[in-house]
Chains A and B, each alone.
Chain A
Amino acid sequence: MWEQIRSNRIRTVGLVVGMGLLLLILGYFLGLAFTESGIAGLVIALVIWVVMSLVGYFQGDSILLATAGAKKIKRSDHQRLYNIVEEMTIASGLPKMPDVYIIDDPALNAFATGRNPEKAAVIITSGLLQKLNRDELQGVIAHEMAHIKNKDVLLMAMTSVLLGTIVILAWYGSRMMIFGGGGRSRRDSSGGGGGQAIIMVIALVLAILAPLLANMIYFAISRKREYLADACGASYTRYPEGLASALEKLGASTGQLKSANQATAPMYITNPFRKKGRAASDLSSTHPPISERIRILRSMGGGTSFADYDTAYKQVHGGKGGVIPASAMGLAGATSQAVTPPKRTPEPDKITRTRETSDLMWKMGNYKEIDCDCGAKLRVPPGFKETSIKCPHCGRVHKVK
């Protein structure tokens, strides 16, 4: 598996370097257009990028968690979810169990953050917790763990910073050229002449094209990592059907995640802005179409190795190129035997799950819970001032602590 991660990393590094070059070229020409010194533009571009990268590296996960409105949960809050995350930590061989966060949102989605495997977190929506059974939840968590294990989280965060820098530079650059009247070039037209005009044109074209190009590179990286995370997830659980059926439920739900935005979209397990039934296979999509991911997982024919995933991928794509590099095949292929046949574990039904999840969300909102002897459950809001409360059901009076 290390080999496959390494060789994938080389390919990804190529794409990221391409994006970095794009930033430098853009900075250089914008510099030429405004200050007649390409180096000044380069320096400005680099400074913006470095500052944004540092913020992204050290604060990225907390910013992300805060904007998503995620709340951290403890073992006692949701035993089953916590156990599943522990199980997948063991299966993936991560050095430390990631923190678990919940977003109170009926939409079905999940994502992972953290700049390294030691300091990572998985985040799922309450809708997901309620709709998925144990196997499906396990599949989703395995997929997120794979993102952490493969260091995708850091990669995507850093790449999105790079993309953001390019977009900002291009936006201000083009606005200044169009509306600012390109003050310098007009003043210098007597001396500079045709050369400066050409540079202006090049800079303008770059400012328009660079963000588009950077976006395409970004999405190309993101989509590749999704397939890889699916393959790893299947090999952790040894049960591709779990993830496949979870994706099916995710695909059927139409709810858009309120707290997601364009920049954070690639972090989620499925595109949070996707419209129902849209086969999002075009270049501007951060995720491969769900139906295709399901079909690949279901074509694995009982095997769970990377080789099985790759064969299934080729089958779905009519025999064209695989997603897993050849160097990883021999190694991973041998581990394809399921160590144990997947056991169907006993678990609560849908109604119990719904109740559990809503209990959890009340608790997260700091509501106090009082069990009345008549069987009713009273929920006391955090701002409640009285010292006692009467059960509306049977009339018993309870003390509020």
Chain B
Amino acid sequence: MSGAMIALWVILGIIGVFLVAFIVIYNGLVRLRNQVKNAWSQIDVQLKRRYDLIPNLMETVKGYMKHERETLESVTNARNMAQQLSGGSVGARSKAEGELGSALGRLLAVVENYPDLKANQNFLALQEELTSTENKISFSRQFYNDSVLRLNNQTQIFPSNIVAGMTGFKAEEFFEVSAAEERKAPKVNFS
């Protein structure tokens, strides 16, 4: 085999390696982006579930809580507000949902003062449903944020940033917690 032939094969080999690396990285990025989309729709499902539960909760609670008009109204308002914004941007939504979350938190806190309500079977089932929905919202947000972090890392670190730049992958927005009390104690880890 002549020198030129060897050089040709080497060049072809190198191109091949690059091509394979490109495909692998690109597929990884696509998978991550789909995961982010999927996680986002999961948050959506849970938020809708919360909208649906609130009127039910209001019906059950109303008869018992005569002196908590303000608390009840703030939950209803926050719910309507959040539902209106549900087609909006990630930032606006997370703010509205955060407010709804803290309004609900205040409501569930005052329940402690109503022993009759706490003994109501219907309310207990609703409370479990609502608590679990809250948990599911925060778990789906946690999974969404983890996925976004991985995607964003991939779009920024070498060499996948080159592939991401060529094929138009952009960093995604985190679903931040915006309610004041939920932001109180940020934990920073430097390890």
Contacts and interface: CB of A to CB of B under 8 A. Distances in A.
Interface of A: 79-80, 83-84, 86-88, 90-93, 236, 238, 302-303, 305, 307-308, 311, 331, 333-341, 343, 345-348
Contacts of A338: 187
Contacts of B145: 335, 339
Contacts of B139: 87-88, 90-91, 236
Contacts of A307: 189, 191
Contact of A93 (B134, B143, B182): B143
Nearest to B185: A341
Query: 7 shortest A-B CB distances, which residue pairs?
Result: A83-B132, A91-B139, A336-B189, A339-B142, A340-B138, A90-B139, A345-B131
A309 to B, nearest CB: 11
Contacts of B125: 79
B161 interface: no
A308 B191 contact: yes
Nearest to B108: A346
Contacts of B142: 91, 238, 339-340
Interface centre among A90, A311, A338 (most CB of B within 10 A): A90
B184 to A, nearest CB: 8
Nearest to A339: B142
B143 A90 contact: yes
Interface string B39-64: 10010001000000000000000000
A68 B111 CA distance: 42
B136 A302 contact: no
B128 A333 contact: no
Nearest to A303: B189
B182 A341 contact: yes
Main secondary structure of the interface of B (DSSP, over half): helix
A331 B153 contact: yes
B186 interface: yes
A307 B189 CA distance: 10
Main secondary structure of the interface of A (DSSP, over half): helix
A237 to B, nearest CB: 8
A238 B129 CA distance: 21
Contacts of B95: none
Given A93-B35, A238-B142, A302-B187, 6 more contacts: A79-B129, A87-B132, A87-B135, A87-B139, A90-B42, A303-B191
Nearest to A348: B124
A337 B136 contact: no
Contacts of A91: 139, 142-143
Contacts of B124: 348
A93 B39 contact: yes
A311 B35 CA distance: 29
B141 A339 contact: yes
Interface string B99-139: 00000000010000000000000001101110110111011
B189 A86 contact: no
Contacts of B147: 93
22 contacts: A79-B129, A83-B128, A86-B132, A87-B132, A90-B42, A90-B46, A91-B139, A91-B142, A93-B143, A302-B187, A303-B191, A307-B191, A331-B153, A333-B189, A333-B191, A337-B187, A337-B188, A338-B187, A339-B138, A340-B141, A340-B177, A345-B131
Interface in B138-191: 138-143, 145-147, 149-150, 153, 177, 182, 184-189, 191
Given A79-B128, A83-B132, A337 B186 contact: yes
A334 B134 CA distance: 24
Interface centre among B35, B140, B146, B189 (most CB of A within 10 A): B189
B187 A335 contact: no
A355 B183 CA distance: 38
Contact of A337 (B46, B182, B189): B189
Contacts of B188: 337
